[in-house]
């Protein structure tokens, strides 16, 4: 009896076990992916949840072993960024993609392989490429600073010279520093011609039309000039030009110059070149050996170089560049190759050129030490206005000027002759061209005969007819 009951139970439970094995097989379809990673299955709807619940209940009713899952219905799964793009790295999904990519990257036959250049990302790693620009900016900065400093120093030197000599100028002139821009005369104006050149015009004195003072400083505002001055030092200069009234000064030309610049000045200035010669000065005058005298009339030279002037030259030997007195002052000689066609305009002028102490390293305090030089200028003006040469000296000076005028006339006469000869040649050439272009043979023959007669007449010697009284 017991055995029969056992076989009945076995027969009844056999289909249930088979169905349970089928369910377990269906549940284990994704078992092959469980070893690699875990999947979180989100229920699509409430219906799927109820269907799963019914299956679980059915299996429980039939007596099979229940399959439990720890899935909470109220909780929702959150997909991370890695899970969202997980399918892009699936090997089965992109099978053979890496192989095709490597084959496409290979260059074809006959084509060079392209290589990407390494371009720097940040600028701070490439300062080596901007050395030239950095040096240029630094050079511009140095040039600008030197310009400001040099400009300021030249202005200070000019103002210090005017302040130091203002009293002497106002004592000798009624107007000091007139700029000429206004109708009414003004005083105390220092005209700025450039960053290193200043001018001062003075007028209102007997025997003097005017006096121009030029302060020619070094080009301290220019960096290149500053460097050249360091290598070859030079001095600032004060140039004083005194224009005298006509017939105030006797006729003579005189200059005392530093020997190092005597030859150059003698060639450049027209009046010195025409009228003066290098002469030795009397040893009694006590003039330093660094000076050379250019004189036309020795009487005028000894009269100008009196005791007071010689003392100033002795004391300020390095400060005096040259002193030039001339009634035939015409400026610098023309550099043109052609000869002058007329006499140059001349006027009586006294020129003084002084070097500022310091040899390029001048200070505003050095301007006070140049007061005796300006006092010597006014002493020479009074000396020249009172100077009267002897009769022989005046005759010699007059002969020298007549000879100079004859020289100019001879030069201009030769120039006129050359111009006339050129005009004749041009006229003769035009006649020959007209003769060659003439189509009528009779007219051409007549023109040729006329031209021949002119040539014969021109070649015949000129004879003068003289009347003989019987």
329: β partners: 347
pLDDT of residue 59: 43
pLDDT of residue 243: 93
290, 319 in Cβ contact below 8 A? no
**Phi-psi label, residue 28: left if phi above 0, alpha if psi -120 to 50, beta otherwise:** alpha
Instruction: Give the three-state DSSP class for 321.
Output: strand
201, 237 in Cβ contact below 8 A? no
What are the residues whose beta carbons fall under 8 Å from the beta carbon of 293, sequence distance 6 or more?
Answer: 254, 255, 256, 278, 279, 280, 281, 287, 301
DSSP state of 108: P
pLDDT of residue 147: 92
- Label residue 238 by pLDDT band (50, 70, 90): very high
Q: What is the mean pLDDT of residues 67-72?
A: 44
Residues 412 and 416: their CA atoms lie apart, in Å, by: 6
pLDDT of residue 378: 93
**Phi-psi label, residue 219: left if phi above 0, alpha if psi -120 to 50, beta otherwise:** beta
pLDDT of residue 421: 78
For the record, the structure tokens of 465 come out as 């007819």
Q: Is the pLDDT of residue 425 over 90?
A: no
Cα 25 to its chain centre, rounded Å, is 96
pLDDT of residue 321: 92
The least confident of 9-13, 131-135, 206-210, 217-221 is 9-13
Residues 114 and 213: their CA atoms lie apart, in Å, by: 77
Residues 86-100 have pLDDT tens digits of: 655 555 555 555 655
Q: What does pTM read for this prediction?
A: 0.63
- Label residue 445 by pLDDT band (50, 70, 90): confident
- Label residue 9 by pLDDT band (50, 70, 90): low
Q: What is the mean pLDDT of residues 401-421?
A: 78
221, 147 in Cβ contact below 8 A? yes
Q: Domain map of the chain by residue range?
A: 7-89, 134-397
Instruction: Tell how many helices (H) and how many strands (E) occur in the chain.
Output: 14, 10
Residues 325-369 have pLDDT tens digits of: 999 898 887 765 555 556 778 899 999 999 998 888 888 888 888
Q: Is the pLDDT of residue 396 over 60?
A: yes
pLDDT of residue 466: 61
Q: Is the pLDDT of residue 65 over 60?
A: no
pLDDT of residue 148: 92
pLDDT of residue 96: 58
Residue ranges of E strands in 336-439: 347-355
- Label residue 60 by pLDDT band (50, 70, 90): very low
Residues 239-255 have pLDDT tens digits of: 999 999 888 898 999 99
- Label residue 4 by pLDDT band (50, 70, 90): low
Residues 2 and 6: their CA atoms lie apart, in Å, by: 6
pLDDT of residue 461: 66
Residues 344 and 347: their CA atoms lie apart, in Å, by: 10
Mean pLDDT of the chain: 75
Could you identify the residue written with the tokens 């899970």?
83
Could you identify the residue written with the tokens 């059915």?
58
Q: What is the mean pLDDT of residues 251-278?
A: 89
Size of the chain in residues: 470
- Label residue 155 by pLDDT band (50, 70, 90): very high
389, 297 in Cβ contact below 8 A? yes
The least confident of 49-53, 161-165, 330-334, 367-371 is 49-53
- Label residue 39 by pLDDT band (50, 70, 90): very low
- Label residue 55 by pLDDT band (50, 70, 90): very low
Q: Is the pLDDT of residue 45 over 50?
A: no
């Amino acid at each position: 009896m017991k055995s029969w009951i056992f076989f009945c139970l076995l027969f009844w439970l056999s289909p249930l076990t088979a169905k349970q094995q089928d369910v377990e097989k269906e549940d284990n379809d994704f078992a092959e992916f469980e070893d690699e990673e875990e999947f979180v299955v989100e229920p699509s709807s409430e219906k799927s949840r109820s269907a799963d619940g019914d299956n679980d209940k059915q299996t429980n009713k039939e007596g099979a072993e229940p399959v439990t899952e720890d899935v909470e219905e109220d909780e929702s799964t959150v997909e991370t960024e890695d899970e969202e793009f997980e399918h892009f790295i699936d090997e089965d999904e992109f099978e053979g993609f890496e192989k095709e990519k490597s084959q496409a990257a290979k260059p074809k036959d006959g084509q060079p392989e392209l290589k990407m250049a390494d371009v720097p990302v940040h600028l701070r790693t490439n300062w080596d490429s901007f050395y030239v620009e950095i040096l240029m900016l630094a050079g511009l900065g140095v040039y600008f600073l030197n310009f400001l400093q040099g400009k300021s120093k030249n202005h200070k030197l000019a103002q210090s010279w005017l302040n130091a000599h203002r009293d002497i100028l106002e004592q000798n002139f009624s107007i000091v520093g007139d700029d000429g821009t206004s109708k009414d005369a003004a005083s105390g104006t220092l005209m700025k011609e450039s960053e290193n050149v200043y001018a001062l015009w003075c007028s209102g004195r007997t025997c003097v039309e005017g006096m121009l003072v030029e302060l020619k400083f070094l080009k301290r505002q220019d960096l290149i000039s500053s460097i050249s001055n360091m290598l070859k030092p030079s001095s600032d200069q004060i140039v004083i030009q005194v224009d005298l009234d006509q017939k105030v000064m006797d006729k003579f030309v005189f200059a005392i110059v530093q020997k190092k610049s005597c030859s150059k000045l003698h060639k450049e200035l027209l009046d010195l070149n025409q009228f003066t010669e290098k002469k030795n000065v009397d040893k009694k005058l006590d003039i330093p050996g660094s000076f050379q005298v250019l004189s036309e009339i020795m009487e005028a030279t000894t009269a100008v170089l009196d005791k007071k002037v010689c003392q100033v030259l002795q004391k300020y030997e390095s400060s005096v560049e040259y002193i030039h007195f001339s009634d035939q002052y015409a400026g610098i000689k023309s550099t043109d190759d052609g000869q002058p066609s007329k006499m140059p305009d001349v006027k009586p002028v006294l020129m003084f050129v002084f070097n500022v102490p310091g040899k390029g390293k001048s200070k505003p305090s050095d301007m006070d030490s140049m007061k005796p030089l300006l006092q010597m200028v006014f002493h020479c003006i009074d000396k020249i206005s009172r100077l009267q040469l002897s009769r022989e000296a005046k005759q010699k000076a007059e002969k020298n000027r007549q000879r100079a005028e004859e020289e100019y006339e001879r030069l201009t006469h030769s120039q006129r002759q050359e111009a006339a000869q050129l005009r004749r040649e041009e006229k003769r050439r035009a006649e020959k061209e007209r003769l060659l272009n003439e189509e009528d043979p009779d007219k051409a023959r007549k023109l040729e005969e006329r031209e021949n007669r002119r040539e014969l007449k021109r070649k015949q010697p000129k004879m003068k007819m003289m009347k003989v009284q019987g």
